[in-house]
Chain A
Amino acid sequence: MPLYLPIAELSMNIFLVIGMGAVVGFLSGMFGVGGGFLMTPLLIFMGIPPAVAVATESNEITAASVSGALAHWRRQGVDVKMGVVLIIGGAIGSFFGAQVFTYLRSLGQVDLMISLAYVVFLGSVGGLMFWESVRAIVRQRRGIKPKLKPREDRHKAWIHALPFKMRFRKSRLYVSALLPLAIGMFVGVLAAIMGVGGGFVMVPAMIYLLGMPTNVVVGTSLFQIIFVTALTTIFHSVNTQTVDIFLAVLLLVGAVVGAQVGARFGLRLKGEQLRALLALMVLLVCAKMGVDLVVEPTELFSVGEAGSH
């Protein structure tokens, strides 16, 4: 059944769109990730213009993060103060990210920027995750237990030296506000140019850089993602009018169902195995993007429309 998408200005099979949402939803439910880094490349691959894919996926991530954030909220798993600092940073980052996105779009280089961003960030995050999970699996087999560092030592000296210290009670932290602000900003830029929530960068940064306790990490990151992707949606809508609500809602319908099934499926696997699988998937998307950049395209020319109709 074809459905005409008024903003993307093309016709897509409605079941295909819902199916894509379901597959990505399944994977994100299984691994407990947002799935933006899978959905945006998939949309581009299916022929949706990159600008529409990124902006629309931002909109879908807002929706997909709400129920998770609410669940964590009820479990007291959100550090609101930390979240607000991360959101302020995210708003700044997203604003500038969207400006760069609009500028590069007018130059015809937005596809390149998206591909490069995916290769760099997915490559490094996927590589680290893969390395870490393989080491954990090997250690477990050998029966080695990693030594836990005492809480006081988790921060490096340079982090202690930063000014504007702030107390975050829920995270039991006394740390410079500049650090979460910078993390939020970085994630905001990624959200605007890659069409992702940025959890894959934010969660490790919260654990390893900020030293937040794990019980508030996911909730706080989802809390930030809702606001930052919402702002990103508005920025993209104002700058480029590329947010397709219909596409976003259809993807969400599939994603909701897929995520339920995926979450149940994920319970059967061990944490390290899940992380290793997720890392492989991240590296796969990265490799696909990278290969497309390096291999000589069969058609060197492309058509784009600049300006109004």
Chain B
Amino acid sequence: MRLLSLVVAVFWALLMAPSAIALVTDLSNKRIEIRYSFDGADLILFGAVGSSAVDPVNDDFDVVIVVRGPEANTVIRQKAKVGPIWINNDSLTFPSAPGYYAVAASRPLSQIASDAVFASYGIGFDHLPLLARTSRGLAAPDSDFRSALFRLQASHGLFRQEQDTVVHIGEGLFKTDIRLPANVPVGDFLVETFIFKGGTIKARNRIMLAVDKEGFERAAYDFAHGYPFWYGLVAVLVALTAGWLAGVLGKK
């Protein structure tokens, strides 16, 4: 394991040493606030590369942007027929699956670099490193459950791949849209940008994005989770008052 990490480190140093491309990125909004009217958010990521090793004017480069949401304990359950009915029979827990995962690229991934390159960086649905909790400790997940996780999260708009494209504006400038759905988890997001040229990574950088509940929504959530008994009591009092008011208004 140690040897492997050493090899990776050396490989990484060799890879990065000659390029030293200046890469800067920024987001249209680095802090997303979930308020009562929140229905998802669209962000724009802007980036620019300087022209040392990559000459943006003469030379095409590729951009891959990976957005990862906060990790959460995620359970995938599988139904099976028991007697006449279908019930959740089997389950697999991913202790640290990202709550959001989006990959945007300037071209289809297969045209940018080989599978092996993406695998070494863990980029994409097929290569995102994921471990599952099993009886033998953390291990590589069963492929059915792994693909179910990606399929289900993608159907909820939480996992996206090759749905958003990175657009070259020119002069080394590029941009892409990042779509966060309404059910996006709260927490810190990591936005990583990779510059590819000739099938290898030439530069990368990362910036943070925060998603948090704000104002009333945050207060209600914190209250419910921090003081659940008092929250329940307030809920009951609100219900009693609202019910009484409704009765009074209904008579008029």
By a beta-carbon cutoff of 8 Å, the part of chain A in contact with chain B is 1-4, 6-7, 9-11, 59-60, 62-68, 70-71, 108-109, 111-112, 226, 230, 233-239, 241, 243, 245-246, 248-249, 252, 256, 259-260, 293-297, 299-309
Contacts and interface: CB of A to CB of B under 8 A. Distances in A.
B39 A4 contact: yes
Contact of A70 (B37, B182, B244): B244
Nearest to B247: A67
6 contacts: A63-B242, A233-B239, A241-B231, A249-B242, A293-B85, A300-B80
A243 B232 contact: yes
A117 B124 CA distance: 43
A4 B224 contact: no
Contacts of B244: 66-67, 70
Interface stretch (B23-31, B105-113, B147-155): B147-155
Contacts of B242: 63, 249, 252
Interface residues of B, number: 65
A113 B93 CA distance: 22
Contacts of A226: 240
Given A249-B242, A294-B84, A303-B149, A67 B220 contact: no
Contacts, number: 187
A305 B73 contact: yes
Interface stretch (B42-50, B57-65, B168-176, B183-191): B183-191
B239 A59 contact: yes
Given A70-B247, A256-B246, A301 B77 contact: yes
A238 B229 contact: yes
| Interface SS of chain A | helix
Given A237-B228, A303-B149, A309-B70, A66 B235 contact: no
Contacts of A256: 246, 249-250
B9 interface: no
B87 to A, nearest CB: 5
B37 A4 contact: yes
A238 B153 contact: no
B236 A62 contact: yes
A109 B247 contact: no
Contact of B74 (A230, A295, A296, A303): A303
Contacts of B39: 2, 4, 11
Nearest to A290: B85
Contacts of B247: 66-68, 70-71
Interface in B75-91: 75-81, 84-88, 91
A60 B74 CA distance: 30
Contacts of A252: 239, 242-243, 246
A309 B224 contact: no
B145 interface: yes
